[in-house]
Structure 1
């Protein structure tokens, strides 16, 4: 049974039992505690926490998930995959244990001809929460046991387990409850008998049924928590691993061999000339390639681009591990153009958006592979230097710090370092490397834990949200008569607040736009007789609830008070101009760069916008002018701007652009500008026609990460002010240079040429002076134990000039043993260069070691090769001591 068919059977089964079928949420789900959706229930968290109303009492999904904590185990086991799909059915206060267990049993054991999966009932085992593991369950989850017995599971196939295995919670205060897991016996060839307690390779878990029936007050660990009490309405959350069910039904040994993954292994094997199954080490590498290529494909489909931070870093690592694994299999040529299309064709059956985004995906992936191939070249050079240094220092291994730096700073793969070190006859300080890696992981975990919020933080908002949504009237009204529903300070509700306090107000209705969709919040005032409050910020901490952060500048505010909410009209209009201009820039970029120029982020405030988009190359000056030109042409064309609410699917069919990771309801707001020229899903405020934008001028273009660029612009009056300042600057320069403005480029070019010529002349004079001093220094060399030593302080000379002088002096020492040590630099920074002749090196004089002797006296450090090395520091006064220390070290060479 194909994976896509298993997926569809699951959805059809629950749809026939009155479940609303929901599409998979994006992997970039808007949850600050997660990089990616890592479990099927993640998009359901707001419903379980009560912060949002569920779309239906019963829901079913097949959710895309990515987990990267066990990335090093990928390919080594049958269980670890980076990307996977989780089938789930959910009940929000509707059915509970009896129905959940019955549905699961019917689907798992039902005949395939009748829509089931057809597993042999005699091979099914289940686990439940056992007795004595928690005070609330002294006899264990007897209710679940009774329901499993009722559907036909024999008592000997029901195993009790502890809290770590069979109790579920989110790691923070909120809902929790016992769970029951379904296992399939794969047969005696996979391990000993005795159920899941005996062997979880033979007895493979395929489905976990979570019975949320308690509210947790605090959570300290998986098996250490406090229960506040029962939930008002118990919920059901289940998760079935699609890939696990697929490899059981397809009769293969692991998830890498199912129909959605194995063809990538086959193609990789053909490229490498390796046969899957012939060599265990090769098999691991081929499985890594197949898993990572598919995972990278799905991440890029949902809008991730390779980068150095967060999500982009995870994607970069997956792509580079794929390329590296192929290199270790003997393939040095580009591989992603051969492998990624295979995965695209396999995944498009379930996710058509993969094909729709292919041009953008392939461009980013292939550019990343090319960049990594350059990294491998550069990393190899750095590796060679590390090897040379180890040998010069008489070490038989590379230090863990060096290997970690290669891996972390330069992106050089660890196991490639191991392989190359072995080729050079060197060991690697594996323990040191792993220690540094563990420190890095601990920092990452600490950062993630610090970001993890608690549902208790929003208790005051939840109480106010219980009175209903805060209607946003700002699309049509800037002034609203309304009532103070609630006052919040430091997370608690208050009846009133006085002059000088900064508090949060919740109104029955509001004209203030809360910050969202890249648009800054509105400003303005909330007033009444005896009250004036300045609106500092507007946010939406819970869906449907708008909170106004205000400073009370006069009087007192009280719950229930009637007030007037007044938006600053001028600032709002400038915000509308900026937000509409953002849509104009997006459309212009797509018109000029093609469909791969997809939005990756945006921000706009009154008079200003910045827009991030996917691009693999720098924008040329000519292209920037074109973007600005197309944008202003759209402004001058006075295109109508309309906003229409419609079903999500209809908006998608019309080609409306959506932001990756944003959550959209069944009904969306589509903002249209000039018909199909610009269609985007957007809840922001906009002008009524493009001419109201007035003017747009691009001020900056830059890279903010691999494959992502940013443009910035001023809009309206701010654009005019920016151009006026530029014009004033041009006029000032023209007056200064005594030319007309249009003659400035020619005059500046001439001045630059004259300056360069003067710099060359100065450089030639400096070189002549240095040559003259080189003769002087060489002639004054002192004999130190048979070695000609030149140790001098050279004020005002640094960088390449100091190095050139040292090499020139060394050359004038001829064939005799000689060491040159020069300290240069300025008033607050010292530079040190040491150069040695071949005859001196034969006596043991090593420039790198001598710099190591002198640089600490300058308050710094340095190093280099045996023939020439350099360093420096911040203590210029230490020059005499540094030179003396180097001279003493030279003297010690011949005394020994």
Structure 2
């Protein structure tokens, strides 16, 4: 059992196993040492290529083994290792599985892979870099083809880390300062496209996503690696083998340099990081953030044990009572949370902002009016936020939602659904919602995509959404089991938890089906008009669209039209406005470049003057001087250059 027994974990199927090892050493080496003694010792030429597990037991939680009713063999073979044995190679990277990619890397970078010169430290680093890139391009490409885009969370973060490791090796050891890894996808497709048609079908998408990630991370790497290299040189010069935690935190916080990458590079240079100090700096930053948003909350004052009920899908007005309330202090401001027996107020959720309105205590015509400033949800309870308490909180309450704001929010929420469907149809099914905000005045939608949208794509998306509005499609709301909704093709937020019975919003079963708890229009025609206002990057691989619907969109179009009219009335500008604006922007850009050039020249002159004023005393260099220069960045650069 010690050597030949395999089990997947503390519990589950298991059994005895047999391993197949191959000794690919030379005849001379085999005569010197029996291959049997080198099995499972990590010898690079005595390798396991196959493992067969005879599944015949089940490991129980108490540690006992129970025979399985049916026995089978669970077998796993290392494909690259088998190729290495069959082709008589000393490394999997010398087989025809990897050589086409490695040759492509050599052509792109002008660095040669030479396994025979591993003894040379510089060549060893080049070899490692090429092997890392050749290996990682396969994992990244297949993951993207399967729909997993790089991101900052979950599985997407794993893909981003793998890709960034490859980028870093290309940058640091092969001196590639421009995107290069994306170009390897074509070779991978030629190799494996017949066996895996999905990478062939999505080649352009894979290349675009990798290129976008490379461009983004190379900017971060350039600044961060220079800073980290200086730190490492200084530490080695002073025989210090620990990177101070506050220094590692500065790289992370100021330069955006990933902490896990700092850890990796530190390890490669025989350094460690003061983890406690780093965590202390991180906690201090969190505390500063908490202090800025600190809230003191009193206990609930219970007036009734009745549960709160939401009736806002069908009504914007309700006759109700307060069942509990509490006082909340935030930033020295006193606020109050009220829970009603039944409420028409929609709480913030699903990206949609909470309703506002009024609560009338007592007689509906003469009673005390309290403004509802916002509505939120806390552990299933709808909370109405006010800045005052009524004199008679026990009286009957008339709850009235601000109807125009609700209708406008509904228009923007329904428009968001139409927008997401349009994005998936025009850009591709890789588009996934990464965040949204539905406001009475506008909508904001974050989505996964690898590049800036073209003007043509934006126009086409706008056209499709407005077409669906003009079709005046009935908006169906249905409640059904989650699995049934998924079978219908309903869009759901990745990672979101849903109840067994879900609310499904349908706008043409062939166009948009989504799980959603928000408020919506009755027909798409109620949206009126849809207009995209802006499109920009939020982070690597995530884009953001801001848009307007209904009267908000109409007002935006009117305002833009008025601005154009005003520009046309400027003398000599009534023709070719767009060309004249572009010309002005180009001239402005050129002037800024000239100013920067002059500032650099000024900095060089100041550096020359300062260098002559440095005093050397007891092995130290001292400089005390007043400097008249606008850019603090230039001062840092001058001091850095003088220091070196």
Q: TM-score, normalised by structure 2?
A: 0.63
| Displacement after TM superposition at 1:414 (Å) | 3.7
Tell me which residue corresponds to 2:218. 374
CA displacement 1:816-859 (0-9 Å, x = unmatched)? xxxxx4xxxxxxxxxx342799xx9xx999xxx99965466879
Contact between 2:535 and 2:543, CA under 8 Å: does it hold in 1? yes
| Displacement after TM superposition at 1:578 (Å) | 0.8
Which has the greater radius of gyration?
A: 1
CA displacement 1:47-88 (0-9 Å, x = unmatched)? xxxxxxxxxxxxxxxxxxxxxxxxxxxxxxxxxxxxxxxxxx
Structure 2: distance between partners of 1:751 and 1:326 = 40
| Displacement after TM superposition at 1:473 (Å) | 1.4
Contact between 2:11 and 2:60, CA under 8 Å: does it hold in 1? no
**1:2/1:550 CA distance change after superposition, 3 Å:** farther
Q: Unaligned 5+ residue runs, structure 1?
A: 11-102, 118-248, 251-257, 276-281, 342-353, 423-427, 492-499, 764-797, 808-820, 822-831, 871-896
Contact between 1:107 and 1:116, CA under 8 Å: does it hold in 2? no
Matched, 1:538 2:371: no
| Displacement after TM superposition at 1:551 (Å) | 4.5
Of residues 241, 249, 257, the one that matches 1:411 is: 257
Structure 2: distance between partners of 1:444 and 1:297 = 38
**1:113/1:458 CA distance change after superposition, 3 Å:** farther
**1:487/1:723 CA distance change after superposition, 3 Å:** same
Tell me which residue corresponds to 1:588. 422
Partner SS state of residue 407, structure 2: helix
Matched, 1:437 2:278: yes
Contact between 1:535 and 1:549, CA under 8 Å: does it hold in 2? yes
Q: 358-367 vs 409-418, which deviates more?
A: 358-367
Partner SS state of residue 683, structure 1: coil
| Displacement after TM superposition at 1:645 (Å) | 0.6
Structure 1: distance between partners of 2:146 and 2:288 = 27
| Displacement after TM superposition at 1:531 (Å) | 3.2
Matched, 1:548 2:393: no
Structure 2: distance between partners of 1:640 and 1:2 = 58
Of residues 489, 493, 501, the one that matches 2:327 is: 489
**1:290/1:671 CA distance change after superposition, 3 Å:** farther
CA displacement 1:132-167 (0-9 Å, x = unmatched)? xxxxxxxxxxxxxxxxxxxxxxxxxxxxxxxxxxxx
Tell me which residue corresponds to 1:30. none
Tell me which residue corresponds to 1:862. 635
Matched, 1:800 2:583: no
Tell me which residue corresponds to 1:887. none
Q: 617-626 vs 295-304, which deviates more?
A: 295-304
Tell me which residue corresponds to 1:709. 543
Structure 2: distance between partners of 1:301 and 1:600 = 18
Of residues 306, 310, 313, the one that matches 1:472 is: 310
**1:621/1:868 CA distance change after superposition, 3 Å:** same
Of residues 556, 565, 571, the one that matches 1:737 is: 571
| Displacement after TM superposition at 1:628 (Å) | 1.6
Structure 2: distance between partners of 1:313 and 1:747 = 44
Of residues 505, 523, 539, the one that matches 2:338 is: 505
Partner SS state of residue 600, structure 1: strand
Contact between 2:167 and 2:214, CA under 8 Å: does it hold in 1? no
Contact between 1:580 and 1:687, CA under 8 Å: does it hold in 2? yes
Structure 2: distance between partners of 1:537 and 1:266 = 65
Partner SS state of residue 351, structure 2: coil
Contact between 2:348 and 2:375, CA under 8 Å: does it hold in 1? yes
Contact between 1:296 and 1:315, CA under 8 Å: does it hold in 2? no
**1:648/1:718 CA distance change after superposition, 3 Å:** same
Partner SS state of residue 737, structure 1: coil
**1:521/1:749 CA distance change after superposition, 3 Å:** closer
CA displacement 1:612-664 (0-9 Å, x = unmatched)? 00011111222222222222122122122111111101111111111123210
| Displacement after TM superposition at 1:519 (Å) | 0.7
Partner SS state of residue 310, structure 2: coil
CA displacement 1:724-753 (0-9 Å, x = unmatched)? 11111111111123554x643355456668
Contact between 1:477 and 1:511, CA under 8 Å: does it hold in 2? yes
Of residues 544, 551, 560, the one that matches 1:726 is: 560
Q: TM-score, normalised by structure 1?
A: 0.47
> How many correspondences in the alignment?
528
**1:438/1:294 CA distance change after superposition, 3 Å:** farther
CA displacement 1:657-693 (0-9 Å, x = unmatched)? 1112321011101101122201110011100111111
| Displacement after TM superposition at 1:484 (Å) | 2.6
**Structural mapping, 1:270-281, within 5 Å:** 270-271=92-93
